[in-house]
Amino acid sequence: MIDLYYWTTPNGHKITIFLEESGLEYVIKPINIGEGEQFSPAFLQISPNNKMPAIVDHAPADGGAPLSIFESGAILLYLAEKSRQFLSQDLRGRNETLQWLFWQVAGLGPMAGQNHHFTQYAPEVVPYAIDRYVKETGRLYAVLNKQLANRDYIAREYSIADMACYPWILPYEKQQQKLEDFPNIKRWLERMQARPAVQRAYALAEKINPNTQMSADAKKILFGQDAKSVK
């Protein structure tokens, strides 16, 4: 059994998509990051960076004590290896998937995250920052669009790379991107949207947190952190 420490954000959706696709048994442990639950000592033991998602696997392959993992990319890789699904066993296929997984966690995620911050949450309009992140998001979309020419999924077959990217592309309107500019992404997005497991993952999110509006208190918790926040 896997405990998934989760809230209803793009990084959280990556893992519910995987778990719904794979059929691994899991239970959700909600971590309401807008209410500061990521700072509870018990959660920090599992996720020292005070961010979700994180998992605890109560039946790791080595038969040892429960194993905790934080960072969505590390979790996807762990679960793919555990279940032997969504990551090719073939040397070239595996490395193709891993490159795009790392591209998402080190590029698309952080850049689109800053895009969301400056286009939606910043208390003042900072035109340079908006322009910088909207442009960089667009550049990353163009790279992905090129990769998706003549193929159904990002790597050779449906993989953890698709699961990592999808939740960060779905809010394309918020990121000030137009799908007409990226026809291969548009087709891929539709293909992803049609997958029953993806639909189940998003339905679950809506059940857990129907109100996705961010309150002023939540903004203070999420955007007011500095070195002193690390206890």
Residues that bind ligand GSH (CB under 6 A): 9, 11, 33, 38, 50-53, 71-73, 105, 109, 222
Q: Which is nearer to ligand GSH, 91 or 202 (CB)?
A: 202
100 in Cβ contact with 154 (< 8 Å): yes
Q: Which is nearer to ligand GSH, 82 or 186 (CB)?
A: 82
Q: Which is nearer to ligand GSH, 64 or 123 (CB)?
A: 123
Burial 203-219 (b: 16+ CB within 10 A, else e): ebbeeebeeeeeeeebe
Please provide the DSSP assignment of 42-61 as one string: HHHHH-TTS-S-EEEESS-T
195 in Cβ contact with 123 (< 8 Å): no
For residue 66, which amino acid is it? P
Query: Distances in Å between the alpha carbon of 155 and those of 81, 88, 181?
Result: 17, 9, 21
Q: Which is nearer to ligand GSH, 152 or 229 (CB)?
A: 229
Q: Measure the N-to-C terminal CA separation of the chain; round to a whole number of Å.
A: 30
Q: Which is nearer to ligand GSH, 3 or 71 (CB)?
A: 71
CB of 151 to ligand GSH, least distance (A): 25
